[in-house]
Structure 1
């Protein structure tokens, strides 16, 4: 665990080395007012100070070379929803479990190069960039996927009644964006994807994430074993938390989404309180890991573009992030699947198209899983 991960009193440091105690007489510095940011801005803003120092040219090209990007606009062409004209933006954020390389042992599959989108969120940044609405898309949702062309130029015919994450496993980023735009009528202005291995390493380099669990969570499939109480999660544990389905609640994807949303808020709350900006080596390591971990659309495919993008998000605190799940109901023919609650979903998409807050009526009475309130900030 990194130098910044010394646990606070009452917080379990649940890493491999077991509990640690702070030396007597050592006082924690008072925390100044934190400037909080969205998850993505934490990863990209790290490059700002690095690029201003000695060897900036080398560092710039090193970080720039790490970033993978895909040309969504070319793959999808002009048959897409219109861009908003008021400064609001929609960003599709995916967590992927590519079954190759260092992700093989994390995904639990074979090294066959296959991939799935394990997590999907639409981040709607409202006009003025002071607040955001975040909509989780359950991967077990049965949808009609439109015909799409992937970034290699291969066309995939439309199919009906498939799981949402089939779009990614079939046609990657471009087909996923096409599917989301078809479902919502919203233009996805940007695309950001994070893989398992990069996520785990990034959390470790951030010094872990502090959360409180109100129930024990034990899931052998995601290698997670947490007692109720305060914890500072390692990267492996954080990955286990955002992937667990069977450790808490009803074992559904909806329950997992509740944990993911709570984790994101916990991460946002502490991103600016990790001490990396006074440690150039830590800052460079963080920027290096972050740029290796993400795949972006081509408009964000450079360090400068990512920094500009991050700068526009850093004023959004967790208290100004409204996190919801796309309105769904259980499929009456298969309780392991959900289907879109179309009337309520349309309320949600209409509100975001008009840059308005999502009304409570859009999510009231929809399926939610049973993990709400299990994880929170300490």
Structure 2
């Protein structure tokens, strides 16, 4: 309607009405000029109305240009930020982890792997990290943290694995060069150089059984720019600290600060995160990193950056230039949406931890996952049990996500299959073929001989006459699982699990098997009935997990005596 009336006004300026009772065009014109005698007395009003319409037209046009110009600039800036983001393949290794099934509300947990790279591939990283003669070396993932956001988005957990922890690294393929790396058993920080962050992700999935949705990596220069963009992060030491080379102990981050609380940013923030000798161990370095992250989260929550355009742009530039991310979150919008999900978690429902470890008997400088304690932590993540006890009471899971029946990640990215096997669809026990594999070797324990044969014989005695053992070398699987290749065998697989007391959540579709395969894991080292598993409770973390709550502002680092001044 507005367009029509404006258009009508625009077609009439040369038209002259003859006034009733005489007058001519000139008189009308004179009257139109404001002469009191001539023509229709309403004409001056119409003229004024015409001028008002023309003014509105010009205003609307100007406003439209401004809006379009601003929108264009905004679009160009958005595209600029998108162009800053480097992306990579989500998983480049052989993994069997499967995505959790949605809870009753349709929600699923979100798991993000954060990797700090020691890459010296750029001049900026060489100047910050030293090691000019190591510039061409494969990068090491010296900082590795798994961020777990609960399905209901009411709590979050962060777990670090110390860089010198020896684990199984699966076969990986470098997504850029196509080079294949065979499976190996070595310290976890080497996984980054054996196929990129996608190999580190697969390594974590196999170790924990937790499906990881995304990864992010950041290097030395990125840490500095992010710390500057945030405006500094408060840290605390109980004594004066100077992390420097000492006789017989080379290296050191260079961190030098007096006792007490201080905001660190730029290079000093990087020094804090890299310090190890002055704290006394790699485990204590993880604690210092957790304290920094908690403080940064509190800092960001206390700043209303969305009302400060300059600050917001600085943060956006720093974040998009600093991070390399898995390709499925490689846009500004997706990273923003991810940040908004993390923002919803209250600070006092964030728990920072380190995987429990023991010393490696093969190398005193290395660590191993601490058996049952490490497995308890992974079980809590798999079952979406909060690391704190501040949520809904009643024990166990707050969200009821569970792991359900899903598909393995090996060929299809680990998405849930949506199939619910039913015993009703199972063939008679005597007609179900089952292959039993021994996968009882774990990160800390060797394999138990004869397990495949013992469990296969138990199945035969229960009426599964076609059960046989796999005679190949013992594998490694933390949890027992029953795999089946296609939908028509789902019921048979569930029947096998039920006969041995294996939970239905351990029955999974997999493209890696040709028939029903029972993999006896490290959690079933004896007996012919699957041992009852303890259901983890909220807050039931191992004592050696070094848990720190996100709202705890009273933490300070003790300095190892040789590095005090």
Is the radius of gyration larger for structure 1 or structure 2?
2
Distance 2:171 2:268 in 1: 38
1:96 aligns with 2:146: no
- Which secondary structure does the structure 2 equivalent of 1:312 belong to? helix
**Which of 263, 268, 271 is the equivalent residue of 2:300?**
271
1:159 aligns with 2:159: no
- Which secondary structure does the structure 1 equivalent of 2:377 belong to? helix
Where in structure 2 are the equivalents of 1:250-329 lying within 5 Å?
A: 250=280, 252-274=281-303, 276-329=305-358
Cα distance change, pair 158–76 in 1 and its aligned pair in 2 (3 A)? closer
Question: Pairwise CA RMSD of aligned residues?
Answer: 2.3
Deviation (angstroms), 1:363: 2.6
Higher relative contact order (CA 8 A, sep 6+): 1
Cα distance change, pair 365–123 in 1 and its aligned pair in 2 (3 A)? closer
Cα distance change, pair 373–285 in 1 and its aligned pair in 2 (3 A)? closer
Deviation (angstroms), 1:170: 2.2
Aligned twin of 1:345: 374
Distance 1:192 1:55 in 2: 28
TM-score scaled to structure 2, two decimals? 0.53
- Which secondary structure does the structure 2 equivalent of 1:295 belong to? strand
1:228 aligns with 2:259: yes
- Which secondary structure does the structure 1 equivalent of 2:151 belong to? coil
Q: How many residues align?
A: 317
Where in structure 2 are the equivalents of 1:27-176 lying within 5 Å?
A: 55-73=73-91, 75-76=92-93, 79-86=95-102, 87-101=108-122, 102-110=124-132, 111-112=135-136, 114-152=138-176, 153-160=178-185, 162-176=186-200
Which stretches in structure 2 are left out of the alignment for 5+ residues?
A: 1-69, 103-107, 245-251, 388-536, 548-553, 559-565
Distance 1:81 1:265 in 2: 29
Cα distance change, pair 107–114 in 1 and its aligned pair in 2 (3 A)? farther
Aligned twin of 2:236: 212
- Which secondary structure does the structure 1 equivalent of 2:221 belong to? helix
Cα distance change, pair 361–328 in 1 and its aligned pair in 2 (3 A)? farther
Distance 1:61 1:263 in 2: 32
Which stretches in structure 1 are left out of the alignment for 5+ residues?
A: 1-51
Distance 1:141 1:214 in 2: 28
